[in-house]
Amino acid sequence: MSACAGINIDSPWLDLRQADCMDLMKEFKDNHFDLAIVDPPYGIGEDGKKNHSRGKLAKPTLYSPKDWDRKPPAEEYFKQLRRVSSAQIVWGANHFADKIKRGSSSWIVWDKENGENDFADAELAYTSFSKAVRVFRFRWAGMLQGNMKEKERRIHPTQKPVQLYKWLLTNYAKPGQRILDTHMGSGSIAIACHYFGAHLTACEIDEDYFRAACQRIERETRQTTFWEGGEF
C-alpha cells in the first residue's frame, strides 16, 4: 500500500511522489528503470491559461491557470533520463527534438480522431526503440472519447487516456518491469501500470495535480470490475 498525499492506494506496483523530477532521478543508479514513459512540458502554454481562450470549434474544459508549460525541459533533463532508464518514450518530442539529440526510426503517433476542431489532430512520441513507426487511434475530442462506456473525467489540461498507456505498455514493456514517469500529471499511467503489473515510480511537482491524481488513482484501482470483460 502506498501513501500518496495522505491517500492510501492499495497497489504493490506504485511508488508515487510529490517531487521535482531532477531530484528524483538523482536517487537512482544508471539503467535502474527498464523504460521511461514521460510527458514533460512542451513549452507551448497548455497549462490552463491558453486552454481558457481556445476551443472555437470544441468547447474547452476550464482548468486553474498555472505556469508549468512556459518552456520545455533543459537538455540536462534528457541526459538524466537516458542515464537512469534503458529505454525511453517521450511525448511531445517534436517540440524539443534539438534537446534530445537522438534520431529514431520508431516514433509513435497518437491519432486523436478529433474531427473538425482547433486542437491538434495527433501527438507524437520519440522512442529509443529500433522498430517501425506505430499509430494508436483513440478518440479524445472534448466530451467524445474512444471508450464512452468508461468515460474518463479530465482533471489536467494535458491529460492522456489510460487506454493509451495500456497500449504503450502492451507494445513496449513487459509485466514486472520497472517504469519511470517524471511528470505524472493526471495519473493515467499509474492506473495502467497497476493493472498491467509493472512497477511504476512517478512524480508530480504540483501539489494540486498530485493530490487530484492520487484521488483518481485510488478510486480507479479500487474499482476492479472497471477492467473486467476485456476492456484491459
In which domain, by residue range, is 171 found?
2-224
Total domains, the chain:
1
Assigned domain for 232 exists: no
pLDDT at position 135 is: 97
Give the mean model confidence (pLDDT) for residues 210-221: 94
pLDDT at position 112 is: 93
Assigned domain for 40 exists: yes
Assigned domain for 202 exists: yes
pTM: 0.85
Residues 6+ apart with CB under 8 A from 174: 34, 198
DSSP string of 152-168, one letter each residue: PPP-STT---HHHHHHH
Q: What is the pLDDT of residues 60-119, one digit of tens each?
A: 554 565 554 467 888 999 999 999 999 999 999 888 888 887 889 899 999 999 876 667
Assigned domain for 38 exists: yes
Q: What is the pLDDT of residues 157-192, one digit of tens each?
A: 889 999 999 999 999 999 999 999 999 999 999 999
Assigned domain for 98 exists: yes
Residues 6+ apart with CB under 8 A from 143: none
Assigned domain for 229 exists: no
Q: What is the pLDDT of residues 2-51, one digit of tens each?
A: 668 678 899 999 999 999 999 999 999 999 999 999 999 887 555 555 55
Bridge partners, 33 (sequence order): 85
* Confidence bin at 142 (pLDDT 50/70/90): confident
Assigned domain for 215 exists: yes
pLDDT at position 100 is: 85
Neighbours of 154 (CB within 10 A): 16
Q: What CATH number did the domain enclosing 194 receive? A: 3.40.50.150
Assigned domain for 65 exists: yes
For residue 57, is pLDDT > 50? no
Residue identified by cell 513507426 is 133
pLDDT at position 65 is: 59
Q: Which long-range contacts (CB under 8 A, 24 or more apart) does 98-103 make?
A: 99/72, 99/73, 99/74, 99/75, 100/126, 101/75, 102/126, 102/128
